[in-house]
Structure 1
């Protein structure tokens, strides 16, 4: 495992980030406590130090598991969590980007994680309501208070992030150092604006759903219909089209040529982009995570890219 500086900072993070949305079984499809622990230990043994969770994941269980798992060596870990989405049904200020929700979400996450500070706080999704100035000042206040160390954005348009970071620089507030986006061979929309924006502001890029909800694992090809893919896996895969299946075919073809799993080919395509990208790898089983981590053992050739 190699390490990278995350954006315009001195923070060193592993080249793979462990996604923990599967930690906990409250949503009906996640991993048990024991399986989650095995995956965490395998990631640690591989040299990983960057872990991603959210207050909403499995209704808070993900954060609780992460907090327990890192307790023995907390300073080794760069723990990233998120706020914004609704954790309190029926409470009018229990969601959104505003200061009140940010503060109450951070305090609750600190308790679940059993830590004194959060290394990286992501804004989970832009609400198109809260003023940018309120968000950035609230972030900066929490950094100055020692509750969080760094900040990042997820599910937010490039123009808003650009505005926010420009305001932060002008006013001496804490700027974003991280960007989280859906990015894969199937989903390349960020190449139009978000990735060029990140490059211009020197913001580190992390990618969720790097395997396109399983499409790029080698399970699906042009012989599979969208309805069959939906039956076999998930509603998200039910949205695939002929173009997506052709991409999956090409990934499987390269994988067969080099004798590697399709998932590793897809992950290395991300890792070898001109702008450094850190894949967020989440798994339900230890064997899946181990297979994905093995992508670190080789690189694709320029022709294969």
Structure 2
């Protein structure tokens, strides 16, 4: 499987990243539809066999279970550390936390490293913009951890284009490590990143690694198909139910093209993102779902198919974390325990 470069770095990744939010003891954390370790390991094994070497996780996913499961599985499966690319994240520092920014971020990182059973991460991501800590402090702290070889590269998630541009300009001016990736909400039925974020990322040579690539399964299955996640994922319903009627035309087009090509809807939806220059993050709750990712990495949509998929999109209001974490309504005056409901990507 051909690899693609992670932005302007020397890190080579599979064209699709395995999103690991679904790994964790059910009910341990914010989701009840997650998979225990016995169910998780075969999915990671199938991903490795399919040529997927890029794994995205976060401490908030099942309160650390996701990271722990990945670290354990990679070790038991005999995966060589140099052959996998691990991305994890950290939350902004709560206002009541009296640690220095460096001490706080390093403590978060050390906990993730322990769970992942590694001494470095390839990509360390600020999970959402921090309105309480000057970005200079965050960049200086991350730069120190890059120099300490605990982090190879840094990324950011859930931010505005002006914030990313400001951060990377400051990093360049001060000789600090810049953000090399942006992980935002982007898929066929939510394309607001195309307005400013993607041009911004292109300007700075950043890679787009979208979350919710399959819109909580809406772009991967027929409407009549029921799943445990569809039943229990109230946050995905919150993000997509209001625009269900408008989005249906696009989803129907995905189903039509998938039928014509004899591939899954998920493969078409991921191939569309790859054609847009992204490295999409896609989750799996069954080993066989990895096959759709593998097929997507080999699928090239033609111009007519891309036009059909693009045609029916209409502007959408911001939803999820970006709608909640913004100037004037920052959630970070609350305690850590109150923040977890915000990150249910």
Give the TM-score, by structure 2 length: 0.79
Gaps of 5+ in 2: 307-345
1:234 matched to 2:241? The reply is: no
**1:21 — aligned with what?**
21
**1:263 CA drift (Å):** 1.4
1:34 matched to 2:38? The reply is: yes
Q: Tell which has more relative contact order, 1 or 2 (C-alpha 8 A, sep 6+).
A: 2
What is the CA deviation profile of residues 20-63 of structure 1, one whole-angstrom value per residue up to 9, with x for unaligned ones?
Answer: 11111223211121221111111111112111111111110111
Between the aligned partners of 1:231 and 1:188, the Cα distance in structure 2 is 22
1:58-207 mapped onto 2 (5 Å cutoff): 58-71=62-75, 72=78, 73-84=80-91, 92-93=96-97, 98-207=101-210
Between the aligned partners of 1:85 and 1:38, the Cα distance in structure 2 is 33
Gaps of 5+ in 1: 225-229
- Contact 1:220–1:245, Cα closer than 8 Å, also in 2: no
- Contact 2:92–2:126, Cα closer than 8 Å, also in 1: no
1:268 matched to 2:267? The reply is: no
Give the TM-score, by structure 1 length: 0.89
Aligned-partner SS, 2:218: helix
Out of 52, 58, 63, the residue aligned to residue 54 of structure 1 is: 58
**1:227 — aligned with what?**
none
Equivalenced residue count is 292
- Contact 2:270–2:280, Cα closer than 8 Å, also in 1: yes
Between the aligned partners of 1:239 and 1:213, the Cα distance in structure 2 is 14
Aligned-partner SS, 1:153: strand
What is the CA deviation profile of residues 152-193 of structure 1, one whole-angstrom value per residue up to 9, with x for unaligned ones?
Answer: 010011111111111111111111111111111101000001
Aligned-partner SS, 1:208: coil
1:10 matched to 2:10? The reply is: yes
Between the aligned partners of 1:36 and 1:94, the Cα distance in structure 2 is 37
Q: Which runs of 4+ in 1 moved over 4 A?
A: 230-233
Between the aligned partners of 2:304 and 2:86, the Cα distance in structure 1 is 36
**1:254 — aligned with what?**
257
Q: Is the alpha carbon distance of 1:65 and 1:46 closer, same or farther for their aligned partners in structure 2, counting shifts above 3 Å? A: same
- Contact 2:263–2:295, Cα closer than 8 Å, also in 1: no
Aligned-residue Cα RMSD (Å) equals 2.3
